[in-house]
Structure 1
Amino acid sequence: MMSAPERLLRPKEVCQRLGISYPTLARWVREGKIRAVRTAGGKYRIPESEVRRIAEGLPD
């Protein structure tokens, strides 16, 4: 049985969920702090599991 593909989030949605700015997200992707995937159209998307992982490590 195959599992459903992981949901990929747009950068704007990731920024809203994590309470960070787009430049911060872009820096984290460059530094390897958060994993991003590139779509066939060249856009970046962030796996939902990465957002949860980062959110769990952020202070309130």
Structure 2
Amino acid sequence: MDKNRTEGTKHEVKGAVKEAVGKVTGNKTKEVAGNVEKNAGKAQKEVGKAADAARDAAKK
């Protein structure tokens, strides 16, 4: 499994937590920062999936 998949998932979860804390506390800055980190984590996870797919295709 590509490292980007695990790191992306970590950032996605961390961003979701930040976003939730921002919503609960009314801190728009933290909420937006969490949303950005969550979406960046999703993108990084997709890069990892693509790398895994490319590696699997190269093995065949």
| TM-score, with structure 1 as normaliser | 0.23
Q: Say which structure, 1 or 2, has more relative contact order (CA 8 Å, 6+ apart).
A: 2
Judging by fraction of residues, say which structure has more helix. Answer: 2
Larger Rg: 2
